[in-house]
Structure 1
Amino acid sequence: MRKRTNNLWWRGYALAIGVGVVGGVPVAHAQEDWPSKPIRLVVAGPAGGSADALARLLAEGLQKAWSKPVIVENKPGAAGALAISDLQATGKDGHTLLVIQGGVVSEAPLAYKVYYKPFADLKPLAQVSRTGLVLVANKDVPVSNLKQLVDYGKSQKDGLVFASYAAGLRGHTSGILLGQLTHVPMRHVGYKGSPPALNDLMGGHVPLMFDGVTTSMPLIKAGKIRAIAVAYPTRIAGLADVPTFKELGYPQLAQAGWFAVWSRPDVAPAVQQKIREATLAYFKQPAVQNRVKDMGMEQGNAATSEEMMADLKQAYQQQAALLKSINYQPE
C-alpha cells in the first residue's frame, strides 16, 4: 500500500512539473488557450491622439490574429497614472494591455508626482512606432532655418520664448537644451497639451514650440506654421525637406521616442511572447507601415523588452540632468 501511495505521489509531482499547476488549472493549457476572452487596450491619452490612433490600428491586427474582440478604452490624465492603475488592477492575465509612449517611464515620473514604480510596474513588449519632436515657429517670425533662428535669438535682449505641450516633459527640456547648446536664453511657457499651445503659436502669442511631429505636421503642410528642424535621428518621411538637429550640428537633440504595447511584468512569459509576436508581425506589413507614416511616425523596431528598458533608463538620466539644471520641481 505504501509503495502504491508513493507511486501516485510521484505521478502527481511529475504532472505538476511537466505541465505546471496554478490554483488547480494547468498553466501550459491556460496559456495555450489564451486569449480566452476579449482584449482591452487601455490608452493613456484622449480619443484622436497619437496613442489612440496607434491602439486602434493595433486592435485591428490583434483581432485578426486571435479572432477575439479587441476593445480600445481611453483613460487620459494624471500623466498616465489612470491608465496604469487600470492595467495594474485588471492586467495580471494579459487580457488588459496598455498602449503608451515610453515617456511614461523616462519623463513623467520626473515631471509629476506619480504613484507607480516606472521601472517595476510596467513592461514594454513590442514597439508599434517611433517618433520625434519638431521645432516649429510662427510664420511671421523672421527666420527660415536654425542658423537664422540662433542669430535672431542672440539679437534679442531677453532671448527667445518657446512653448511646450507640458512642463517637465521633453518638449520643455528640448528647448532648454537648445538654449544651452547655442547660448541663446530660452524662456519656457508650458501648456496643457499641444492644441492650446499650437493655437497660441499660430496666433502669435508665442513664437516657437517643440511639438510632436504628429500634431504639428498637418499645420506645417498647410503653411500655418513653419518647421525649423526635427529632433529625431533621421529625417521624418512626412517632412523629408526638414533637416534634423543632428545634421545641423546638434546631435544631442537627435532623440527618438517610441510607442509600445505594455503589460504587467508578471503576465505569463508565453502570453507576453504571443502579444509581442502578433504585434511585430502586424506592424511589419507594408500597408500598416504606410498608415503609421501617414500619422507622422516611423515604423517601430524589434527591440526586446530589456533593450527598451535600457533605452528608457538612459533617457531618464538625461532628462533628470536637464531638469536639475533648471531646478525643476515635480508638480
Structure 2
Amino acid sequence: MNPTLLSRRRFAAAAALATLAPAAFAQAWPTRPVRLIVAGPPGGSADLVARLVADPLARELGQPVVVDNRAGGAGAIAVGELMRAQRDGHTLLVGVNSLVSEIPHIVKLPFDVGQQLKPLAELARAGLVLVAHPSFPAKNLAELVAYAKGRPGEISYGSYSPGTMSHVLGLILNQSAGIQLQHVGYKGSTPALTDLMGNHIPLMFDGLATSLPLIRSGKIRALGISTPRRAPQLPDVPTFREAGYPQMEAIGWMGLWSSPDSAAPAQASVRQAALKVLADPGLRARMLETGFEAGQPRSSEDMTRELHADFDRVGKVLQSVGFKPE
C-alpha cells in the first residue's frame, strides 16, 4: 500500500478515536463510588447540603456517593484533600463560595484556593440575616441606624468569623449609614448565637440556615436580609435593598467543586447530574425547610466571574479598616 495513503488512514483513525474518547469516558464514568469531601464539620451547613444531594446524586450517577467531612483550616484541609486526589472526577468537594471569595483575605494559605477549585454547580443559596436579641429596641434596619447614630461606638455586632461576609456587612453598614457598630468576632455561628440569645451582644449577621430555627422560636428577631428579594422562609423580613442599602446585598452559596484539571467529561457528567437533582420539587422543598433555596443553574464561567468580583469587594472593605490575615 502507498505509504502516504497508509499514513493518512492512520491519522484519520486516530482522529476518530480522539473524537469518541470523551463520549466513551462519559459512558464509563463513574466506575467506582464518588467521594464528596465536605469543607465543614458534621451537622454544619456544607454537611447538610451534601447529605441532601448525596443519595439522589448517587441514583443519577449509578454509583454510591460517600460524604467525607474534612473540617478545619478555614477550608484548607478539605481543599488540600481534593488536591491530593486523582484527577479522574471521582473526588469532588462541597463547600461555600467564601472558600474563594473570603478565606484568602482571612488566612494565609500555602496555595491559591481560586486556582485549585472549579465550581461545577451551585447546590444551594441563602442570604445573611441581621438578627437581634428580642429586647433590642430597633425593630428594623432604619430604626437600628437611628438608634446607633445617637450612641456612636456603644453598640456591638457579632460575626461567625472575622473577615467573612458576616463581618464585612457590618462594616458596609457603618460606612453607608455613618454609624459606628463595634465588631465582635467569633469562631462559628454557635458561640455567637449563644451570646446573642444571652444578650451579651445585641446584634449579629448570620447565615439564614443557622438562625432560622431561633427566629421561628422567637429566641432572636430578624431585622433584615441580604438577598435580592425576600426569603420565602421569612416573607415579612425586608431586604437590605428595600431598607435603602443595596450595597449590602450578598448571597452565600454552596457549590459542588472539582479540581480544574480533572477529567472534562466527568465534570460535564456530574454537573448534568447535579442540575437534574436540583430540579426535583421534593429536594427543593427540603432545601427551603433547612433555610436554603436550591441553587441556580449558572455556568462555571458565571460563578467564577462572581467569585472574582466578590473577592475584590471583600478585599476593599477589609483593607479600608486595616484588616490583616492571620
Residue 15 and residue 115 in structure 1: after superposition, are their counterparts in 2 closer, same or farther (change >3 A)?
Answer: farther
Q: Which residue of 2 aligns with 1:14?
A: 12
Equivalent pair of 1:92/1:266 in contact (CA under 8 Å): yes
- The answer to whether structure 1 residue 132 and structure 2 residue 127 are counterparts is yes
Which of 90, 101, 113 does residue 108 from structure 2 map onto? 113
Instruction: Read off the aligned partner of 1:245 and give its amino acid letter.
Output: F
- The answer to whether structure 1 residue 296 and structure 2 residue 291 are counterparts is yes
Whole-Å separation in 2 of the counterparts to 1:157 and 1:312:
34
Aligned length: 326
Gaps of at least 5 residues in structure 1 are: none
Alignment of 1:25-44 (within 5 A): 28-44=23-39
Identity of counterpart residues, as a percentage?
43
Whole-Å separation in 1 of the counterparts to 2:161 and 2:47:
19
Instruction: Read off the aligned partner of 2:188 and give its amino acid letter.
Output: G
**CA deviation profile, 1:97-119 (whole Å, cap 9, x unmatched):** 00111111110001111222233
Whole-Å separation in 1 of the counterparts to 2:16 and 2:170:
56
Q: How far has the Cα of 1:14 moved from its partner?
A: 3.4
Equivalent pair of 1:19/1:28 in contact (CA under 8 Å): no
Q: Which residue of 2 aligns with 1:281?
A: 276
Alignment of 1:16-95 (within 5 A): 16-20=14-18, 28-95=23-90
Whole-Å separation in 1 of the counterparts to 2:129 and 2:179:
18
Q: How far has the Cα of 1:16 moved from its partner?
A: 3.1
Equivalent pair of 1:129/1:298 in contact (CA under 8 Å): yes
* RMSD of Structure 2 on Structure 1 (CA): 1.7
- The answer to whether structure 1 residue 154 and structure 2 residue 149 are counterparts is yes
Residue 160 and residue 91 in structure 1: after superposition, are their counterparts in 2 closer, same or farther (change >3 A)?
Answer: farther
Residue 124 and residue 91 in structure 1: after superposition, are their counterparts in 2 closer, same or farther (change >3 A)?
Answer: farther
Whole-Å separation in 1 of the counterparts to 2:276 and 2:183:
41
Whole-Å separation in 2 of the counterparts to 1:304 and 1:78:
28
Instruction: Read off the aligned partner of 2:18 and give its amino acid letter.
Output: G
Alignment of 1:231-270 (within 5 A): 231-270=226-265
Q: How far has the Cα of 1:9 moved from its partner?
A: 5.3
Equivalent pair of 1:107/1:319 in contact (CA under 8 Å): yes
Q: How far has the Cα of 1:298 moved from its partner?
A: 1.5
**CA deviation profile, 1:254-287 (whole Å, cap 9, x unmatched):** 1112111111111222211111111011111111
Q: How far has the Cα of 1:12 moved from its partner?
A: 4.4
**CA deviation profile, 1:288-311 (whole Å, cap 9, x unmatched):** 110111111112111100000001
Whole-Å separation in 1 of the counterparts to 2:79 and 2:5:
48
Equivalent pair of 1:160/1:184 in contact (CA under 8 Å): no
Q: How far has the Cα of 1:31 moved from its partner?
A: 3.3
Instruction: Read off the aligned partner of 1:15 and give its amino acid letter.
Output: A
Deviates more, 1:164-173 or 1:147-156: 147-156
Q: Which residue of 2 aligns with 1:181?
A: 176
- TM-score relative to the length of structure 1: 0.94
Where 1:238 maps in the other structure, the secondary structure is: coil
Whole-Å separation in 2 of the counterparts to 1:94 and 1:151:
53
Whole-Å separation in 1 of the counterparts to 2:9 and 2:52:
47
Whole-Å separation in 1 of the counterparts to 2:198 and 2:311:
34
Whole-Å separation in 1 of the counterparts to 2:86 and 2:93:
9
Where 2:13 maps in the other structure, the secondary structure is: helix
Where 2:135 maps in the other structure, the secondary structure is: coil
Where 1:73 maps in the other structure, the secondary structure is: strand
Q: How far has the Cα of 1:121 moved from its partner?
A: 1.3
Equivalent pair of 1:91/1:263 in contact (CA under 8 Å): no
Equivalent pair of 2:105/2:163 in contact (CA under 8 Å): yes
Whole-Å separation in 2 of the counterparts to 1:262 and 1:12:
38
Equivalent pair of 1:236/1:297 in contact (CA under 8 Å): no
- TM-score relative to the length of structure 2: 0.95
Q: Which residue of 2 aligns with 1:104?
A: 99
Q: How far has the Cα of 1:5 moved from its partner?
A: 6.7
Equivalent pair of 1:91/1:97 in contact (CA under 8 Å): no
Whole-Å separation in 2 of the counterparts to 1:205 and 1:159:
13
Q: How far has the Cα of 1:6 moved from its partner?
A: 6.3
Where 1:162 maps in the other structure, the secondary structure is: strand
Gaps of at least 5 residues in structure 2 are: none
